[in-house]
Structure 1
Amino acid sequence: MEPSTARLLILDDDADVAFAARMLLRRRHADIKVLHDPVDLIAQPAQADVDVVLLDLNFTPGRTDGAEGLAALDLLLRQPRPPAVIALTAYADVPLAVEALKRGASDFITKPWDNARLLAAVDSALARRAAPPTPAASSALMGDSNAMNAVRALVASVGPTEANVLVLGENGVGKELVAQAIHLASRRADKSFLAVDMGALPEATFESELFGHRKGSFTDAKGDRDGRFQAARGGTLFLDEIGNTPLAAQAKLLTALERRAVTPLGADRPQDVDVRIVSATNLDEAQLFDPAVFRPDLLFRLNTIVIRVPPLRERKEDVPGLLRHYLGHYERQYARPARGLSDAALAALSAWHWPGNVRALRHACERAVILAVGPHYAFADFGLADPAPASAALSAPAPAPADERTLGDLERAAIAAAMDGAKGNISEAARRLGLSRAALYRKLDKHGL
C-alpha cells in the first residue's frame, strides 16, 4: 500500500491515545505530527499547516466543557489554508462534538474508536479537501507513457459510473492509487474510501471484519461493531489482494454483493449497504480464471471493468519523472538539500528492471536522500545492484560466489525464489518461507523486491 503524501496532526493530551492513533494511521500516511497541548499551535503556528487534524476536545484534567478544544478548532479554521478537523470525544461528549460540527469540524469520532471508522473518516476528510475530481482525480497516477495515459483515460471513463472495477498488476505498481483515482472521479468522492487487505483477514473472523457483529455473538464480542461494508457506506470499498481470499470466504462475499446487503454476526436481519466495489490482485488472469483459485461467479461480479496497470519495466520513459518526484518528496520530508542526478545515474536507473516497481523506486529514492553526500545522486546511493543492461531487463543480477555472499544476500535470494515459485502470490510465498504476510512485505521492501 502506498503511503499518502497528506500531512496529519494528532492533538490529544493523552499520550497513549495519540500513540494508538498514530500507529493506526501510519499504515497509510507517512507524515504525522503529534502535539499534546493546543498552546503549541499558538507558539508554533507552522504546526497547523496540515491537511487533517484529529482534535481532542478536553485537555486539562477534570475539565469537560470542551472550551480548550473548541478554541483550538477556531484557531485551526482561521488558518490561510484551514485543515479538515475531526473531533475526538468520549461517548458522554457527543453533544460537545455536535457543537464542534456546527463550528466547522468535518466529523467526530467517539473513543474508544473503531479502527475502520477512524481510517474512513480521515480518508473522507482528505477526499473532501481534494480538488474537483476531473482532471485532478488521476493526477497521482504519474507518468507520461502511452501505458499510463491509457490507464488515466480508463479511470476518467469508468470513474463517474457505478461499475465494479478490477485492477490487475504486479506488486508495487500502484493499484491502490488507481482505486483512489476511480473514487475521486466518482459521484462518491465526498464519501469514504476504505481499503481492506483481503489476504490479511483471518478466515475465522472474515464475516465479523467485513459484515460486523452484535454484542455477544462470540466470546470477545463485547459490543456491537460495524464491518467494513457499513464503515464505507455511501463510498467506495477497495478490496485489495482479492485473489488471496479463501474459497469459502469468496462465497460469503458473493452473497453480499448479489444482495447488496450484509447480515452482521448475531443479527437476525440483513442490512442494506450502498458501496461501490473496486478490487485488485497481483494474480495473473490465468490464475484468476482457475475455479480452484477463484470462483467464476464472483469474478464476473467484480470485473465489469478491468484496468491493467503496467509494470515499471514496460514504461521506462516514466522513470525520470518518478525519480524527480520521490527525490523531491523525501528531500522535503527529511529537510535535505536538493541534489540533481548525475547523467550516469539517470541512465542506469532508467535501464534498471525495477522488479519491485514504483514501490521499490520510492524506497530507493528515500535511501538515496538519507545517505547521499555528494553534490549529485550517484547510482550507488540507491542501494541497487550493479546497473542491469537493457537486454537483461528481466534477469536477476548474477549471485556472488557462495563463500562471498552475506546473510542478507542469502535472505534476498530465498525470498526471490519463494516469490518466483509462488508466481507473485504473497500469501503462498509467505507460507513457503514460514513468515507472516506482514513480515514478508517488510522484507520485500528491505530488499527492493
Structure 2
Amino acid sequence: MKQAGSILIVDDNSDILIAARLLLKQHYQSVKTTDNPFDIEGLITQQKSTDFPIDVILLDMNFSQDAISGKEGFYWLKKIIEQDPSIVVLLMTAYSDIQLAVDAIKAGASDFIAKPWQNEQLLGAVAAAFSHAKDKQQVGQLTRQTQGLSQALNQSVSGQHFSFLGQSAAMKDVFQTIEKAAQTDANILITGESGTGKELAAHAIHQASQRRDNAFIGLDMGAVSHSLFESELFGHKKGAFTDAKADRMGKFELAHGGSLFLDELGNLAMAQQVKLLAALQNRQVIPVGASKPINVDIRLICATNDNLQNAVNEGRFRQDLLYRINTVEIRLPPLRERQEDIPLLCEYYLTHFGQKYKRHLNILPEDMQKLCQYSWPGNVRELAHAIERAVILTEGETLDTRSVITSNSDSTDALFDVAASSGSSHAYDTFDLEVLEQRTVRAALTHHQGNVSHAAKALGLTRGAMYRRLEKYGL
C-alpha cells in the first residue's frame, strides 16, 4: 500500500528523473518531476491547492550554469525554505564531498544523497525525510494552535469566570443532566433567558467531560459579522482576502480535541447555518482560501435565548441543524423560578467582590428577604452586577442594598420604597434621559422574557447597541 505523501524531484538529467520516479511511485501516492528549478515555486503553490501538497523535495545541487560547486543547489534550497519551511529537502549530487554535505545540512537540508544511489539507500533517506516532514507539520500546527489559543484567551470579553451555583430542585436537575451528558460526546444545546448562566453551564460541561484537559473555545455568534463567519469558525489562508496577512486557525481547529461553545446560535443567517451543518456532518472544515479539508474532533455545545423550534416554524432556523445540535437539551431556569438560590448567590458574589475591592461586608436578614422577593429580570448577571455596585458604593460594614435597587429598579418594580426613605414623594419622577433609557431597556427585556434579540428589535437597536446598553446599566 502506498504511503500518503507528495514528492517533487528536481534534476536536469532526464534519466535521473525517470529512475527516481519509477522507484518512488511504487511507495508514495504523488511523485512529480521537473528538469527546471525555476518551476519549483509554481509547483509548490499549485500542489497546495490539491490533496497532495509537497512534503519532500529531492533537489539536485548542480545545474547547467555550475558543474560542481553546488551553489545553485544552495540557492534553490534557500528559496524553498523561504516559501514553505515545512517542506523537507534532500540534496543530490554526483560530486560527493564531506564538507559539501556538512554545509548542506547547515543550510537546512535534511540529508545529502550521492548519485548514483543504491535504491535501498534512497528509499531509507526519503522515508526519514517524510517522518521529518510530518514532525515539522505537527510542530507548525501546534505553534499556530498555541498562538490562536492565546489570541482567543486575550479576546475574552468577561476576563473572569464565576462558579456555577445552585441548590434549588430546578438546579439539581440541571446538574444531574450535565453530569450524565458530559460523559458522552453528544452535542448539547443550552437554552434559557439572557443572564441565566449559559456560558457557565458550558464550562461546567467541559470540566466534567473527558475533554477537560484540552481546549474550551467559545464564540458569540451574535458578535460575528456575516463576512467573517467562515474565517472565525474555519480559519483562513494567507492572502485569502485583503486583511489575511497570515494563516489563521478557526475556532473549530483551535477546539480540536476539546469543546467548542457557540453562544447566541439563533442569530445565524440561513446561509451560515448550511455551512455550519456541513462542518458538523463531515467533521471537517475548509479554511477560506484553501481547498483541502481539515479533520476536526470537537464536542459541540450551543446556547441560545431564542426558541429555536419557533424559529424553525417561522423559517428562520433549519430543522436538520436543530436536530444536529440538540442531542441533549439543558434548560436553565430564570432566577425568579429558583428564588431559594438567591441567598447563596448573594453571599457568593458578596465574598467575590468583597475580595476584589478589599471590603468585608454582610447583608441584613431583612434586606436579604427583599432581595429574594425581587423578580431579577436580568437573572444572575443582573444580580452579580447589582452586588458589585453595592460593594463599591456601601460606606459601612453592612451592604447598602438601596444602591442595588436604586440602580436596577423602575417605578413599577421596586424592591424598596426609596421615596419614603428619602422623604420625597417624587423620587421616581425624572426627566433624566439616561434613567429613562435604562427603564425602557429593562421594560423591553422584561416584556420579551430576557430575549435580547427581540428586545433590541422592539427598541429599534442593533444587537451590538443593545449589548452596549446592557453592559452600561449592568442588566
Please classify the TM superposition score into its range, dividing by the shorter chain length.
0.5 to 0.7
1:286-297 alignment runs, 5 A limit: 286-297=309-320
Deviations 1:329-351 (A, max 9, x none): 01100111x12111221111010
| Mapped partners of 1:159, 1:326: distance in 2 | 27
Question: 1:414 maps to what in 2?
Answer: 440
| Mapped partners of 2:431, 2:352: distance in 1 | 34
Deviations 1:338-378 (A, max 9, x none): 12111221111010100000000000010111011133123
Question: 2:366 maps to what in 1?
Answer: 344
| Mapped partners of 2:282, 2:164: distance in 1 | 33
Change (3 A) 1:111 1:279: closer
Question: 1:163 maps to what in 2?
Answer: 186
Measure how far apart 1:421 and its partner are.
6.8
Q: What is the RMSD computed on CA atoms of the aligned residues? A: 3.1
Deviations 1:172-210 (A, max 9, x none): 000011111111111100000000001111011111111
Question: 1:241 maps to what in 2?
Answer: 264
Question: 1:364 maps to what in 2?
Answer: 386
Whether the aligned pair in 2 keeps the contact of 1:260 and 1:274 (CA below 8 Å) is yes
| 1:175 aligned onto 2:195 | no
Change (3 A) 1:330 1:423: closer
Question: 1:146 maps to what in 2?
Answer: 169
Whether the aligned pair in 1 keeps the contact of 2:189 and 2:329 (CA below 8 Å) is yes
| Mapped partners of 2:173, 2:245: distance in 1 | 49
Whether the aligned pair in 1 keeps the contact of 2:145 and 2:253 (CA below 8 Å) is no
| Mapped partners of 1:335, 1:401: distance in 2 | 32
| 1:441 aligned onto 2:467 | yes
Change (3 A) 1:276 1:298: same
| Mapped partners of 2:368, 2:432: distance in 1 | 28
Question: 1:394 maps to what in 2?
Answer: none
1:2-401 alignment runs, 5 A limit: 114=147, 116-119=149-152, 140-336=163-359, 338-382=360-404, 383-385=407-409
Change (3 A) 1:373 1:238: same
| Mapped partners of 2:412, 2:144: distance in 1 | 52
After TM superposition, the score normalised by the length of structure 2 is 0.61
| Mapped partners of 2:412, 2:441: distance in 1 | 21
Whether the aligned pair in 2 keeps the contact of 1:120 and 1:231 (CA below 8 Å) is no
Whether the aligned pair in 2 keeps the contact of 1:208 and 1:264 (CA below 8 Å) is yes
Q: Secondary structure at the match of 1:278?
A: strand
Count of matched residue pairs: 319
Q: Secondary structure at the match of 2:236?
A: coil
| Mapped partners of 2:388, 2:148: distance in 1 | 29
Measure how far apart 1:284 and its partner are.
2.5
Whether the aligned pair in 1 keeps the contact of 2:216 and 2:260 (CA below 8 Å) is yes
| Mapped partners of 1:220, 1:164: distance in 2 | 33
| Mapped partners of 1:257, 1:189: distance in 2 | 21
Measure how far apart 1:143 and its partner are.
1.4
Measure how far apart 1:413 and its partner are.
3.4
Change (3 A) 1:313 1:299: same
Change (3 A) 1:149 1:111: closer
Change (3 A) 1:367 1:430: same
After TM superposition, the score normalised by the length of structure 1 is 0.65
Deviations 1:47-87 (A, max 9, x none): xxxxxxxxxxxxxxxxxxxxxxxxxxxxxxxxxxxxxxxxx
Q: Secondary structure at the match of 2:408?
A: coil
| Mapped partners of 1:305, 1:240: distance in 2 | 16
| Mapped partners of 2:390, 2:200: distance in 1 | 24
| Mapped partners of 2:296, 2:154: distance in 1 | 18
| Mapped partners of 2:414, 2:385: distance in 1 | 22
Change (3 A) 1:110 1:439: farther
Change (3 A) 1:420 1:340: closer
| Mapped partners of 2:266, 2:308: distance in 1 | 10
Task: Give the greater-gyration-radius structure (CA).
Answer: 2
Q: Which amino acid counterpart does residue 182 of structure 2 have in structure 1? A: G
- Worse-superposed segment, 146-155 or 381-390: 381-390
Measure how far apart 1:416 and its partner are.
3.5
Measure how far apart 1:438 and its partner are.
3.9
Q: Secondary structure at the match of 2:248?
A: coil
Unaligned runs of 5+ in 1: 1-107, 131-138, 391-399
Whether the aligned pair in 2 keeps the contact of 1:349 and 1:387 (CA below 8 Å) is no
Whether the aligned pair in 2 keeps the contact of 1:327 and 1:365 (CA below 8 Å) is yes
Q: Which amino acid counterpart does residue 376 of structure 1 have in structure 2? A: T
| Mapped partners of 2:325, 2:358: distance in 1 | 43
| Mapped partners of 1:112, 1:158: distance in 2 | 27
Change (3 A) 1:409 1:423: same
Measure how far apart 1:404 and its partner are.
2.9
Whether the aligned pair in 1 keeps the contact of 2:149 and 2:254 (CA below 8 Å) is yes
Measure how far apart 1:276 and its partner are.
0.6
| Mapped partners of 1:159, 1:122: distance in 2 | 26
Q: Which amino acid counterpart does residue 260 of structure 2 have in structure 1? A: L
| Mapped partners of 1:426, 1:255: distance in 2 | 28
| Mapped partners of 2:145, 2:280: distance in 1 | 30
Q: Which amino acid counterpart does residue 339 of structure 1 have in structure 2? A: L
Q: Which amino acid counterpart does residue 343 of structure 1 have in structure 2? A: P
